[in-house]
Every structure is written in C-alpha cells, then in structure tokens.
Amino acid sequence: MRLFWAFLTAALSWAPPAWGQDYTFEELWNLETTFWDNFLYPANVQQMLAINSTLFTPDVQGRVDITRVFNGSELNTEYLFGLFSDPSHVSLVGIPIAYSITQFSANGNIASATTVVTFNATSFGNFLLPVTIDTWIMWDDEGRIEQYDATFRWFGFLLDTLVQALATAINGTTSEATASLTQLLATTICATHDQYCTGDNQQYADTTTCLDFLTTDIPLGKDYELGRNTLLCREVHEHMVQYDPGLHCPHIGPTGGDYCVDDQTYAEKVLQQYFRKSWIAEGSSAEDIWFVG
C-alpha cells in the first residue's frame, strides 16, 4: 500500500531540481519593495523615460486580470509605469502616491503579495482611492522581473465608486454620471487620436466619427473588460499612444488592434497557458493546467 502511494505521488508530481536563483526572504522583500517604490509617482516617470525599464528582463511576461497579457520590457514599461505617470491627463485612477504591502510570502525566486496602493484620482477631484493589487512576481538571477501576474481585487466595486463620486460631483444620478464619464473618456481619446494618429496611423475619418463610435457603437465596459472591445480598454491604451503612435493607434481605433478585441471566451481566459515558467515554487506539477511544460 505504501509503495502504491509512493508510486502514485511520483507519477502525479514531477519535481525537477529547484531552478532559478534561491533568494533569501529578505532579498525577495527588497526586490518587491523596489518594484513598488518605482511604481509610485514621480519615480514612475523616470522608469518611463528609460523606455525599457531595467527592472524587467527584455522578454518579461506580464498578465493583468482586468486587461490581458503584455510581452516584453518596452510594453510593460509603458503599461506599468507610463499609464499612471501624468497627473494632468484625464485618467480613471490617477497617480499612485503610496503603498502598503498587507500580505507577503516568498521563497526561491517567487513572491506572492497583496499591496494596497493609494491613488490620487486627479481626474475626480483629487480624491484618494485605495486600490488592492494582488501580485505574483518572479525574478531572474539578476533581480529583474521575468514574470508577473497581477489581479485587481474588488475592481467592480472600485469602478462603481468612481461613478458614484462623479454623480456626487455633478449632482446627478448614476446613469447621468456614467454618461458623463463616457463623454469625458471619448473626448479625451478622440483628442489624442487627432493629435497623434495621423497619416498611416489614422483610425477615424474625423472627430465626429470617433465620438460616435466610442459613445454608441461600443459599451463602456465592465470591470473585467479592459482588454476587450470597450471604451474602458481604449481609455487604457489612449495613455500609450503618445509614446508610440504606430503601435498604439490601432488600439484606440475601431478594430482595437489585437488589444481591445473580444478574442477570448471566459473559459479560454481561465485556461490560457501563457507563462514560460511555472508559478509552483521549486518546480512544476503535472496537475498545473496553466503550465505548458
């Protein structure tokens, strides 16, 4: 019987020798806080200016539950640092100004953490918005992030709270606030389009076509739809257009350019095998359906 269990256990779990750097707990804590220190404004501006942040490996893989996957250091630098670095530009959550790590466990080269980040919602009367971000981060031998998987906890509640704050500000109903938010975002995206998406990068015939498309042809989007064919998705990508119009203009256009598209079912998203390395500390398991092997 004991032999049977030993055999079964061996068959079910394939445990290769530990791979990756074996950091101490303290080293992992320092790597984690280094990331969050640089995530804050204005440190994130410096990261953005580096174009390829040295906090990432060149072929870093990233996934954010409410959006989608991001490949490579340049794109991840833009999305993690550039997106939240301009207090004067219209944005949903504004700029990150403080953080507190509230849950943390780490070993090998992987850490799992919960971080409550305080955002200054500069487009919503500078109100301070706590945002809970759960992360799994994996570092390479040189202390660079080679994989991360981020989840925005309670994001639906957050969106509703933003709309409610707007309703209070305009002394209106929730649907009036939603309409107002839709107009604000669409106007911002179309202005960016008109400024940066010219020549071969042009997506809309004119501003009216742009506004019509964004306010009536596509939905504002639900909390999990920032990587789907929605206005909220184009709001995310609008911030990136200035850095690389050739790459990002299609994302705010009618096609959504591979980033704002409904290309995945719920099950496909849940079962997606994306990461090159398994998130199971010390090696993969045959039962890990996310790991390609």
Ligand X SMILES: *[C@@H]1O[C@H](CO)[C@@H](O)[C@H](O)[C@H]1NC(C)=O
285 Cβ neighbours under 8 A, 6+ residues apart: 12, 13, 14, 15, 278, 291
Q: Does 280 bind ligand X (CB under 6 A)?
A: no
The smaller minimum CB distance to ligand X, of residues 137 and 220, is found at: 137
145 contacts 35 by C-beta, under 8 angstroms: yes
**Binding to ligand X in span 205-244, by CB under 6 A:** none
Q: Does 169 bind ligand X (CB under 6 A)?
A: no
The smaller minimum CB distance to ligand X, of residues 54 and 216, is found at: 54
**Binding to ligand X in span 237-276, by CB under 6 A:** 258, 274
Q: Does 171 bind ligand X (CB under 6 A)?
A: yes
Q: What count of other Cβ atoms lies within 10 Å of the Cβ of residue 24? A: 10
Nearest-approach distance from CB 275 to ligand X, in angstroms = 8
Q: How far apart are CA 112 and CA 106, in angstroms?
A: 6
**Binding to ligand X in span 65-94, by CB under 6 A:** 69, 71-74, 87
Q: Does 174 bind ligand X (CB under 6 A)?
A: no
Stretch that binds ligand X, among 21-29, 120-128, 247-255, 282-290 (CB under 6 A): 120-128
Q: Which helix (H) or strand (E) holds 137?
A: strand 127-139
Nearest-approach distance from CB 67 to ligand X, in angstroms = 12
Residue/partner pairs of 159-164 with CB below 8 Å, 24 or more apart:
159/223, 161/129, 162/92, 162/93, 162/121, 162/124, 162/129
Q: Does 120 bind ligand X (CB under 6 A)?
A: yes
The smaller minimum CB distance to ligand X, of residues 51 and 270, is found at: 51
218 contacts 204 by C-beta, under 8 angstroms: no
152 contacts 34 by C-beta, under 8 angstroms: no
Residues in touch with ligand X (CB under 6 A): 51-52, 58, 69, 71-74, 87, 97, 120, 122, 126, 171, 258, 274
